[in-house]
């Protein structure tokens, strides 16, 4: 079950697999998602109400913002880490 978020900063430069050192060989990563200001605003408002989303809430939010559920899940994970660093 390989769940990649599509973020380039997710791994340490992709050094864990020897094939990644070749550059173009192997599976290419998705380009990093550039969230619109409207999407970020909605995500932040939702995050202020609840720090964790259930599957149905994530599905609804993904549909409303035209993002994938994995993008929503990853955004919330990253936002919780940002909050943890701030505290």
* pTM higher than 0.85: no
Rounded Cα distance between 79 and 87, Å, is 13
pLDDT of residue 48: 98
Query: What ranges do the domains of the chain cover?
Result: 37-86
pLDDT of residue 10: 41
- Angle value at C-alpha 70, between 65 and 72, nearest 5 degrees: 40
Rounded Cα distance between 5 and 9, Å, is 10
Report in angstroms the alpha-carbon separations of 26 from 20, 22, 30.
Answer: 7, 8, 13
Rounded Cα distance between 46 and 80, Å, is 12
Which pLDDT tens digits describe the chain residue by residue (87 residues)? Answer: 544 444 444 434 444 444 445 556 778 887 888 999 999 999 999 999 999 999 999 999 999 999 999 999 999 999 999 999 999
CATH of 37-86, one of 1.10.10.60, 3.40.50.720, 3.30.450.20, 3.40.47.10: 1.10.10.60
């Amino acid at each position: 079950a390989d769940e990649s978020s599509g973020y380039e900063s997710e791994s340490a430069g992709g050094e864990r697999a020897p094939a990644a050192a070749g550059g173009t060989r192997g599976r290419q990563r998705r380009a990093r998602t550039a969230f619109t200001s409207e999407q970020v605003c909605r995500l932040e408002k939702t995050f202020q109400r609840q720090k964790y989303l259930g599957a149905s809430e994530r599905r609804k939010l993904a549909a409303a913002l035209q993002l994938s559920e994995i993008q929503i899940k990853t955004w919330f994970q990253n936002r919780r880490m940002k909050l943890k660093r701030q505290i």
